[in-house]
Structure 1
Amino acid sequence: MIKSFVMCVFTLWVGLSWASQVTVKDVLDRDVTFNSPAQRVIVGFYPEDYMAIGTEAAYDKVVAMSKYIWEARSASWEMYVKHRPSLQDIPEIGRVDTQTFSVEKAISLNPDVLMLAEWQFKGLGSDIERLENAGISVVVVDYNAQTVERHIKSTELIGLITGQEARAAKIAEEYKQTVENISKRLAAANLPQPKVYTEFGASGVQELGYTFGKNMWGAISTMAGGDNISAPFVEWWGQLNPEQVIASNPDVIIITGYETGKGTDSMLMGQGVDTAEARKRLAGYKDRLGWSSISAVQNNRLFGAYHGACRTILDAAMIEFYAKSMYPDLFSDLNPEQAYLDFYKKYLPVTPKGTFMLSLDN
């Protein structure tokens, strides 16, 4: 009994002595002070990024998380739980978007750091002050914006929270190099910009799904050299008028999906998804009312992408995928899907199997 108590005190002392106080600016340019590495963390968003950057061991210090964003990708969540069953035991903290996030529970868990996405921070409003008054350091990160600056900043912040600054710097540099390589080749080639349309295909062929303006897939399509037809009409995300899609006449169409959808014709992509089934779902969009006149449909330039591979440090491979889809000759040497799998091999403890990028023409 005494021996166990002494060991607990020693372990705590070692952990605290290893940590050092840092003051950083988060993505909102807020000064935030906390001990690095943090010993008790609540992960509000970006759970896979937290593991990739902080290592699997970072989850030893996670005292709660908003699980829905991971559990919504059920096959991916099951893959991780099979590898690390203790993920299931991490307490659920609730969702900001459904107003079920429990401030009281967060405070009771006595975390050092609460990591939130920008939209979560804004959604919590005055509750942020309650959390900070309880001694919790709130750090805001943001991969949703899909800018190189915020991707790098968010990666560095997670590196500081988890004590993995060197690993974070390496991952951030690799992301930056991917974007710069594509940008330089596009600038040197000086080719006409293809018009591109991206749609989240969870609703299926009969119902036009959400598209993206200046963030998420919209930003990715722009970084990859495309003329995003949704940008003039949608700021962040929303639906276009079906006639507007036809009138804009995109050269390339990319339909994104998760492992599950709302109906039998929903676009399916991701962990455990059969490529033949995914291609069959994608082909169904050729028969959408009015789409036969669209250039992308006439030329079979329809593609599928895994929606879970966006708004994450893993999405450098998706930028390559968009670039190759729009400029197949210029980027013929790229292998985006292998790049996606290689990231898992280098930085994550699981090996995904399924369909993450797809061309109708293959």
Structure 2
Amino acid sequence: MVKSFIMFLFTFSLSAAWAGQVTVQDVLGRDVTFNAPAQRVIVGFYPEDYMAIGTEAAYDKVVGMSKYIWQARSANWDMYVKHRPSLDDIPGIGRVDTQTFSVEKVISLNPDVLMLADWQFKGLATDIERLESAGIKVVVVDYNAQTLERHIKSTELIGVITGQEKRAAKIAAEYKATVDSISKRLADANLPKPKVYTEFGASGIQELGFTFGKNMWGAISTMAGGDNISAPFVEWWGKLNPEQVIASNPDIVVITGYETGKGTDSMIMGQGVDATEARKRLAGYKDRLGWSSISAVKNNRLYSAYHGACRTILDAAMIQFYAKAMYPEVFSDLNPEQAYMDFYKKYLPVTPEGTFVLAL
């Protein structure tokens, strides 16, 4: 009888150990099996999304992080660290894009799951085999593509990793509802598509900054009903010839920015940024060489957005922003900045203060 009881306990313990095992298909169609919710996670990218979807408690299980993408938004990072000081103690793992990503550091942290962005996974190439041979499960997510499919899939994957499937489903459904509503209203209005140009304004007025083709702001502007002038010339991101911008004659210009830039004329937006200063810097772009002939400048249709508010599940508000900028009569009821703040109030433990969208 004792032997039977011991066997029962062994069988029960074995079953319990494997009770949380799941197999997911990540955004690249790779089947990944791990125990969920994961108990030791490294967050390679999308740190705010991980908290919004997984809740703040998800960071109790984060043992490593590629911190630079969060710390690049220094005011945002400081806001979170002030609320949760332990974030600052999470070990860093380096960057894929600067070849400082440390496979050895990742292995030493003994994670169950390493969550990577699509571009990180591809950049690591054969290092992925080293990580997987060490028993680390690699799950690939992707908000950079700015497609509805990948936004939803990535949100669902984070929900599984953190054990917050219901919360993830709710957030994904709300995002889809925003996209579907804008698409329907555009179809009903059936208006000509305005030409739109988006530029990351960190370099300031004198130097043309990066623009976007079929991802990030390029995809957002297209999703919101615009004709992205950069798409024929830039696949992902890059710089247009200055003459090409003028020749394309955009109806709408959006200059994005972080809280800091390279100089005093850089576009700044975000946490702690005063709207008067941001508007002053945006107005400076009207004086850029050759831009006086552009329709957007002639008609004062220059706008700015927070660069940290794209490639994230939070960017439904930015789709609203572009839609309203391009079709003000159709979307006069939308309040994109309020929508952005409301997401924080609903799903995150902090709420930023500053300037996140702007019209000249």
How does the TM-score come out when normalised to structure 2?
0.95
> Which blocks of at least 5 consecutive residues in structure 2 are unaligned?
1-12
Equivalences for 1:78-227 in 2 at 5 Å? 78-227=78-227
Report how far residue 105 of structure 1 moved. 1.0
In the aligned structure 2, how far is the partner of 1:31 from the partner of 1:293?
A: 53
Rounded Cα–Cα distance in structure 2 between residues aligned with 1:99 and 1:207: 27
Q: Is the 8 A contact 1:19 1:37 kept in 2?
A: no
Aligned to 1:255: 255
Counterpart AA for 2:234: V
- Superposed CA deviations along residues 115-162 of structure 1, whole A, max 9, x for unmatched, are 000000001110101101111000000000000000000000000000
Structure 1: runs of 5+ lacking an equivalent: 1-12
In the TM superposition, residue 306 of structure 1 has moved relative to its aligned partner by 0.1
Q: 2:329 — aligned with what?
A: 329
Whichever residue aligns with residue 109 of structure 1, its letter is L
Opposite residue 206 of structure 1, the aligned amino acid is Q
**Equivalent residue, structure 1, for 2:46:** 46
Name the residue aligned to 2:3. none
Structure 1 Cα separation of the partners of residues 36 and 191 of structure 2: 47
Cross-structure match for 1:228: 228
Amino acid of the structure 1 residue aligned with 2:133: N
Distance 1:286-1:31 versus aligned 2 partners, 3 A rule:
same
The one-character-per-residue Cα deviations of 1:145-187 (angstroms, maximum 9, x if unpaired) are: 0000000000000000000000000000000000000000000
1:19: Cα distance to partner? Answer: 6.1
Q: Distance in 1 between matches of 2:103 and 2:235?
A: 30
CA distance in 1, matches of 2:194, 2:91: 46
2-side partners of 1:40 and 1:277: how far apart?
43
SS across alignment from 2:208: coil
**Match of residue 272 from structure 1:** 272
Per-residue displacement from partner, 1:310-353 (whole Å, max 9, x unpaired)?
Answer: 00000000000000000000000001110000000000000100
- CA–CA distance in 2 between the matches of 1:17 and 1:294? 64
SS in 1 for 2:196: strand
Provide the rounded CA distance (Å) in 1 between the counterparts of 2:98 and 2:244: 31
Render the CA deviation track for 1:174-216: whole Å, top value 9, x for unaligned: 0000000000000011000000000000000000000000000
Structure 1 letter corresponding to 2:327: Y
Give, as a single letter, the amino acid of the residue that structure 2 aligns with 1:322.
Y
- 2 CA distance for matches of 1:92 and 1:236? 27
Following TM superposition, by how much is the alpha carbon of 1:17 offset from its aligned partner in structure 2, in angstroms? 5.5
Contact 1:113 1:139 in 2 (8 A): yes
- For 1:151, the aligned partner's letter is H
User: Retained in 2: the 8 A contact 1:116–1:138?
Assistant: yes
Counterpart residue number, 1:76: 76
Contact 1:203 1:263 in 2 (8 A): yes
Change in Cα spacing, 1:19 to 1:287, as seen in structure 2 (3 Å) is farther
CA drift at 1:42: 0.3
Contact in 2 for aligned 1:93/1:105 (Cα 8 Å): yes
Q: CA deviation at 1:69?
A: 0.2
* Cα distance in 2 between the residues matched to 1:318 and 1:235: 21
Name the CA distance, whole Å, in 1 between partners of 2:351 and 2:109: 32
Deviation at 1:18, TM superposition (A): 9.4
Deviation string, structure 1 residues 45-71 (Cα, Å, up to 9, x no partner): 000000000000000000000000000
Are the aligned partners of 2:18 and 2:35 in contact in 1 as well (CA < 8 Å)?
A: no
RMSD of aligned alpha carbons? 1.0
Q: Secondary structure at the match of 2:87?
A: helix
Post-superposition shift, 1:108?
1.1
Q: Relative to structure 1, is the Cα distance of residues 18 and 32 closer, same or farther in structure 2, using a 3 angstrom cutoff?
A: closer
1:302 aligned residue: 302
How many residues are paired up? 346
> In structure 1, the residue corresponding to 2:263 is in which secondary structure?
coil
Q: Report if aligned partners of 2:21, 2:33 keep a CA contact under 8 Å in 1.
A: yes
Q: Which amino acid aligns with 1:203?
A: S
Does the residue aligned with 1:308 lie in a helix, a strand or coil?
A: helix
- For 2:187 and 2:197, the matched residues in 1 are separated by 22
What SS does structure 2 have at the residue aligned with 1:179? helix
Look up the match of 1:6.
none
Question: SS of the residue aligned with 2:233?
Answer: coil
**Conservation of the 8 A alpha-carbon contact between 1:19 and 1:38:** no
Q: Are residues 1:352 and 2:352 paired?
A: yes
- Confirm or deny: 8 A CA contact 1:64 1:92 kept in the other structure: yes
